[in-house]
Amino acid sequence: MIYASVVTIGDEILIGQVLDTNSQNIARALEETGIHVVRMLSIGDNAAEIRETLLGELSRADIVLTTGGLGPTKDDITKAVLKEVSGSNGYYEHPGQLEMVHSILKSRGLDVLPINLAQAQVPDKAEVIVNRLGTAPIMVFRGLGERKSTLYSLPGVPHEACGAIPAILDDIRAHQPLSPIFHRNIMVYGIAESALSERIAPWEDALPADMHLAYLPNPLTGIRLRLSCYPKEGEEGTQQRLEGQLQALEALLGPLCYAEEDSNLETAVGRLLKEHGLTVSAAESCTGGNIAHLFTTVAGSSAYFLGSVTSYAVSVKEKVLGVPADTIERFGVVSSEVAAAMAEGVRRLTGSDYAVATTGLAGPGGDGINPEGTVWIAASGPHGTRTQKYVYKNDRKRNIERFSATALDFLRQMLLSDLSN
């Protein structure tokens, strides 16, 4: 087993100004490669503290990854400490990173200052992986400390740190014997973790000894099931064995499964619509535009998403969506009838093949009849309209998110059923 430690350097983390997302992204990538992260640390831009921490982590981990502290300003001192910790005698200029500094500043229309050129200087014991997304180099120091550990220094800017991860993993694989691991993901929505576990127990219990299933729940995307295989060195046909197990699992799950990779509902529904040349629209009350927002976060969604109406006021429900006033009066705003009329109204208005609608109470507070967290969802298509009530118990923000995800899944179920007929 290879042990890793992840160290984030920067005062902005310690004062709570910036949320550290780098550590999670690095940890996830390492874990999926079969490397065990034993600690994550955040420390300030303080030379003594950085030195002590790095020496400590090098004594407990085979791989130490640091992010941050590499900026051109004088409060960024990681590089000087790395020079010392690695036993380097001086600095050298790395031509590849120097070229990148020039090219990046040019593309931003900025002059190249001496402070920028210094970014291409690295301690002489450092190997460099050129950072194509920023001016700070990615540095690699090998054979440090008693464990002969490897230290990777990554930039702190999140998209630069994330961008560096594949090259780091390649470098690790090239230098250390890593046991092979194969992963496959399945995304599931609309079932509680405990019920899912019960449903697939016979299959899970019968998994071969070298396979393991992980449940990774997320309130917005459902449950990610990750099936991992740790085959014997040199074994052939692992992918096929994994594929066979996956198919058996999917057969058990049926329409609960919405994707065969780490994904989300808006992408899965979008793919279904696009594949079949269908269009969609949305009418939103309590979700307040969030379903439209989710549809349109997917690049290329203009191929199938025509538009939406957020009908927060009753007058907009009536005037824009054409929900009859007496339907609202007889059944109340939070009702199956109003949800259905909203979906049918926006479908008529936009001319889309399908439509989804929500009306409910995100909170705080109920309406005297329905408790906070109640939502009626409707989906409407060429074969009719369906509605369903759900009740969630979260705060306003989380209720809006759950309502939206559930509405997307409700539409997906209608699409699957229509397309299979």
Pairing of strands 354-360, 257-259: unpaired
Helix/strand/coil for 264: coil
Confirm or reject binding of residue 316 to a copy of itself (CB under 8 A). yes
The nearest distance, CB 93 to a copy of itself, in angstroms, is 28
Confirm or reject binding of residue 248 to a copy of itself (CB under 8 A). no
Name the residue nearer to a copy of itself (CB basis): 122 or 410: 410
DSSP 231: P
Name the residue nearer to a copy of itself (CB basis): 27 or 200: 27
Region from 117-125, 196-204, 253-261, 395-403 binding a copy of itself, contact rule CB under 8 A:
395-403
Confirm or reject binding of residue 313 to a copy of itself (CB under 8 A). yes
Is residue 57 within 8 Å of residue 50, measured between CB atoms? no
Determine the angle formed by the axes of helices 265-275 and 396-420, rounding to 10 degrees: 30
Is residue 187 within 8 Å of residue 257, measured between CB atoms? yes
Confirm or reject binding of residue 30 to a copy of itself (CB under 8 A). yes
Confirm or reject binding of residue 312 to a copy of itself (CB under 8 A). yes
Confirm or reject binding of residue 299 to a copy of itself (CB under 8 A). yes
* Class of residue 128 by CB neighbours under 10 A (exposed 0-12, middle 13-18, buried 19+): middle
Distance CA 47, CA 369 (A): 62
Which residue among 225, 282, 355, 379 contacts a copy of itself (CB under 8 A)? 282
The token pair at 21 is 């997302």
Which residue among 195, 383, 397, 417 contacts a copy of itself (CB under 8 A)? 397
Distance CA 413, CA 265 (A): 11
Confirm or reject binding of residue 23 to a copy of itself (CB under 8 A). yes
Confirm or reject binding of residue 42 to a copy of itself (CB under 8 A). yes
Site string (53-92) toward a copy of itself, x via CB under 8 A: x---------------------------------------
Distance CA 178, CA 297 (A): 37
The nearest distance, CB 167 to a copy of itself, in angstroms, is 18
Confirm or reject binding of residue 307 to a copy of itself (CB under 8 A). yes
Helix/strand/coil for 161: helix
Which residue among 2, 29, 105, 200 contacts a copy of itself (CB under 8 A)? 29
Nearest to 150 by CA among 68, 261, 30, 233: 30
The token pair at 135 is 């001016």
Confirm or reject binding of residue 39 to a copy of itself (CB under 8 A). yes
Contacts of 247 (CB under 8 A, 6+ apart): none
Which residue among 27, 133, 162, 220 contacts a copy of itself (CB under 8 A)? 27
Name the residue nearer to a copy of itself (CB basis): 53 or 126: 53
Confirm or reject binding of residue 140 to a copy of itself (CB under 8 A). no
Confirm or reject binding of residue 306 to a copy of itself (CB under 8 A). yes
Confirm or reject binding of residue 41 to a copy of itself (CB under 8 A). yes
Region from 146-154, 180-188, 235-243, 309-317 binding a copy of itself, contact rule CB under 8 A:
309-317
Phi, psi dihedrals of residue 148, rounded to the nearest 5°: 55, 50
How far CA 164 is from CA of 106, 127, 142, 159, in Å, comes to: 22, 14, 17, 9
The nearest distance, CB 368 to a copy of itself, in angstroms, is 15
Which residue among 9, 43, 120, 229 contacts a copy of itself (CB under 8 A)? 43
The 3-class SS string of 6-35 reads EEEECHHHHCCCCCCCHHHHHHHHHHHHCC
One-letter amino acid at 70 equals L
Torsion of CA 59, 60, 62, 66, to 10 degrees: -90
The nearest distance, CB 24 to a copy of itself, in angstroms, is 5
**Site residues for a copy of itself per CB under 8 A:** 13-21, 23-31, 37-44, 49, 53, 159, 216, 281-282, 284, 287-293, 295-297, 299, 301-302, 305-313, 315-316, 319-320, 349-351, 362-364, 395-397, 400
